[in-house]
Copies of this chain bind each other. A is one copy, B any other.
């Protein structure tokens, strides 16, 4: 193998999100591909994206990818369902770097999981309004009955540190998921990277026999498939490097991010707006 291709293999996987949620995707990638170098960026100065317009989300997403490009990644993972739902086409048309979103892997897993052929999707306002999962699932299997519900409280619920046994979590899920249960949905897609932290409570609320599709895990599998097929897996047996960047206060990121990443976050740097916003 030439030096050049070795160098390419050693380049990092770039993972970005509007904030903390994408750390669940980074965590799943680390678990599946423990040799890979990872650079993470969370746009914590402008989080959340899920209640913003498509135009604004697209603009932010382009700036996020521009920032990631300085690390010369071999792959950019759009670890934000809102961005993947509203800006994926715009991003792949704009940039040459290979990209992987969270929607397609989640949709594939949902189609594979459902037996009743009734799938439910939860996500932010923007994700649900975009119809991204609905379209991706219909492309795979036009006969599947789709139910969707924006669940905007779940992000702040997770960020506040509430766990699966909190009474308020139970009430929120009972309200949000009632229509899925009534309709006989047997596969629920977690269409937001914050939701894996509530997976157990969602599973409990939906009851036995219902699959809860975690798009973080599915996306990690997709990343592995892409790198394997492209012969881009990192082959150096050394310790991988993890770097984290945020656009606002690393304090909060450190405090809350740990639960998302499942390990202490080291190498966290706050970038100044001059370094990032309106990057050209």
Contact = CB atoms under 8 A, between A and B. Distances in A.
Counting chain B CB atoms within 10 Å of each CB, the highest count among A44, A155, A156, A278 belongs to A156
A48 to B, nearest CB: 8
A175 interface: yes
Interface string A33-69: 0000000000011110001110110010000000000
B53 A252 contact: yes
A156 B159 contact: no
A273 interface: yes
B168 A249 contact: no
Given A53-B248, A252-B53, A273-B59, A159 B168 contact: no
Given A52-B248, A52-B249, A56-B45, A159 B167 contact: no
Contacts of A171: 167-168, 171
Interface residues of A, number: 29
Contact of A172 (B44, B155, B168, B249): B168
B168 A51 contact: no
B167 A156 contact: no
Contacts of A155: 156
Number of this chain's copies in the complex:
2
Given A152-B160, A156-B153, A159-B152, A53 B249 contact: yes
Contacts of A156: 152-153, 155-156
A160 B171 CA distance: 15
A56 B152 contact: no
Nearest to A248: B56
Interface of A: 44-47, 51-53, 55-56, 59, 152-153, 155-157, 159-160, 167-168, 171-172, 175, 248-249, 251-252, 273, 277-278
Given A44-B52, A152-B156, 13 more contacts: A45-B52, A46-B46, A47-B51, A52-B248, A53-B249, A53-B251, A152-B159, A152-B160, A153-B160, A168-B171, A168-B175, A277-B277, A278-B278
